[in-house]
Chains A and B, each alone.
Chain A
């Protein structure tokens, strides 16, 4: 294209005026995961942005947990790349881990330690600044200040989930991964979760959560992904989706 110097100057200043494209917080490129004889994830391309709340739906065995584990750097991709907060998982795994928080089915808590001791352990492991005040903040956020000196083994499942959520955001992660966070939560926990999701939003944190509960997914998220047979077959804003249609699609497979 032949452009005169004057024209190119005009073009340049015009593009400057246009808003800069959003930089993705998470960039997944051709991600494939294979377990010997069967494939679980099949060349997935996906971008997640700061401040987004994304729900990941799919039948059991569709690959949701595998995807989460790869993002959490607990599992290596068979091929493809994953970059989180500007770091590639296969090159800068430590840097990635410092930016990711995970709430999974297992609470990742030590039952023989108290709530406070658990948080102290992870605060040290994540090199959290201002350890003491941050721990107090977290305990307050999840409503466990009163039980801080009690062993986690004595907690109910709901309380353990709450502490697990607190543990996950101890280091203010840029990406929060939640594997079925709505299961096992008591009312206090649901409130704590809502609080934390709100907090992530205000700090431009990204949230990716898997869930079986469609209503929860549609209400809690702005964007919905549907994972089917290892591929993302649906990627749409939550308000545009109809719960019943989605339910039917999910139960079809």
Chain B
């Protein structure tokens, strides 16, 4: 059996994607952190918005991908779907953590508090726990097939759960008035919108770049197990024919 080098098209894709991401990210960050006008109410602290919002977008995008891949895995039973799901889940977990952290750091100077139980924050926190559950069940499940199946179930249930969490917390707050927090001012000047759009694009590309890298790693892990199997089969053949 020949051990192949990483195939050509994968590394070119990774390189190309990385380059485009880096450029877009540079532009986006410049636009957001330098070019866009200062926020009337929040001042320069508001600029973290251009990183925080795209990261939240990526976290939920990643989760959406987990959901689709999970359904496909349960239906088709091919490992590629599980590889996609667990790669996206890991990226999603990291970005969710970052969202919570950046949100906290943003909130402190603006609202005077590290945390508040509004619908958006609470949903993001719960999303973090769902991702955690995803990996915990993988860790404790034992064999590869079970880990994939069980975590797929978590991915599917979690995905349906997230909007319901948002709804229920939102209602809880409106029927139970708490301090009103606004994340963005009512009308965003055009320049802010532009900066935000570019940052959203940049972070989406970043997600895709990370996915390509992570997927490559996960596929290699599974391929390693396949090689070990092939090796043990060779040995068994030797024994039986001996």
Contacts and interface: CB of A to CB of B under 8 A. Distances in A.
Is A in direct contact with B (CB under 8 Å) within the complex? Answer: yes
A27 interface: no
A39 B233 CA distance: 7
Interface in A166-216: none
Interface string B216-242: 000000000100110011001001100
CB-CB nearest 10 A-B residue pairs: A37-B228, A38-B232, A229-B236, A36-B144, A39-B233, A37-B229, A229-B240, A36-B225, A37-B225, A36-B143
A58 to B, nearest CB: 13
Contacts of A37: 225, 228-229, 232
B229 A39 contact: yes
Contact of B229 (A36, A228, A229): A36
A230 interface: yes
Contacts of A36: 143-144, 225, 229
Contacts of B233: 39, 42
Given A39-B229, A39-B236, A229-B236, 20 more contacts: A35-B143, A36-B143, A36-B144, A36-B225, A36-B229, A37-B225, A37-B228, A37-B229, A37-B232, A38-B229, A38-B232, A39-B232, A39-B233, A42-B233, A42-B236, A228-B240, A229-B239, A229-B240, A230-B236, A233-B240
Interface in A1-38: 34-38
User: What secondary structure prevails in chain A residues at the interface with B?
Assistant: strand
B165 to A, nearest CB: 35
Contacts of B239: 229
A147 interface: no
A131 to B, nearest CB: 36
A134 interface: no
Interface of B: 143-144, 225, 228-229, 232-233, 236, 239-240
12 contacts: A34-B229, A36-B143, A37-B228, A37-B232, A38-B232, A39-B232, A39-B236, A42-B236, A228-B240, A229-B236, A229-B239, A229-B240
- Using C-beta atoms within 8 Å of the partner chain, give the interface range for chain A: 10 to 19
A249 B225 CA distance: 32
Given A36-B143, A36-B144, A231 B229 contact: no
A55 to B, nearest CB: 21
A229 B233 CA distance: 10
A227 to B, nearest CB: 11
A233 B239 CA distance: 12
Contacts of B228: 37
A39 B239 CA distance: 14
A228 B240 CA distance: 8
Nearest to A38: B232
A139 B232 CA distance: 48
A37 B144 CA distance: 10
A39 B228 CA distance: 10
Contacts of B144: 36
Nearest to B228: A37
Interface string A144-164: 000000000000000000000
